[in-house]
Amino acid sequence: MALRPQDLQNCDKGVCASSWFYSLWSDRCSADCAEGSRSRSVVCMMSQTNSLPLDNCDDEDKPDELMPCDLGPCTQRLEWYTGSWGQCSSECGNGTQSRGVVCVVQNSGQLEVTSEAHCTHLPRPPNAQTCFLKSCGSQWYMTEWSSCSRSCDGGFRVREVRCLQDDLTNSHDCDPALEPANKENCNTHTCMPPIDESCRDMYSNCVVVVQARLCVYSYYRTTCCASCSRVTQRDTLHRIR
């Protein structure tokens, strides 16, 4: 066995040859009108067998990946034009931001705003989207106010106030000094008595009757019913208070 010849030996035929391989040019131009470009893929691979892309090809011999194309001047070409996104509506948590979207017509490189009705056949880009700058942490949430407990002479209304985290679970980390009120007064105006159509002033000088304190007499209470009634109700309200 010591004299058995070897059946394997190393060999080296030099560096494997590599070449630039490229695909067919694309059929579509990058622009619908005026100047654009067509593209193709270019990779460096070994010439003899299938292999992964290499990086030892000569860059000076690399074939072009783009070629110019021109489909003619742009005339009466309609398209949607979008501005940049605006500021987020909320400093923290979810908000919205918007941008301008207009229909324009392009003539030889010049853009002119036109009616949106001319672009309805084209997909309209969104003019609003949600935005998120940072987490808000715990903050106060509240419901709408309830109806007032009274329609006049002072009532109150209430609402529910909660401190919630970002995941809307209860929290105790909100600033108590910033807690919104959960109760407030409402309808503090004086209740007006119902109008009695049969109780009217028969004379224009009933104000003199009131000033002379003549409403205690039945005659004047009848002829100056409205004026005397207001005085009586006002005096009664003062006594109650």
Check: pTM over 0.85? Answer yes or no. no
Instruction: Give me 116's structure tokens.
Output: 């949106």
The list of the chain residues with pLDDT below 50 reads: none
CATH number at 139-186 = 2.20.100
Say what the pLDDT of residue 141 is. Answer: 94
Q: Which helix (H) or strand (E) holds 94?
A: strand 94-98
Say what the pLDDT of residue 146 is. Answer: 95
Rounded Cα gap, residues 81 and 103, in angstroms? 6
pLDDT tens across 141-167, in order? 999 999 999 988 889 999 999 999 988
Provide the residue ranges of all domains of the chain, joining segments of one domain with +: 18-70, 77-132, 139-186, 206-240
Reference 111, options 69, 85, 83, 76; nearest CA is 76
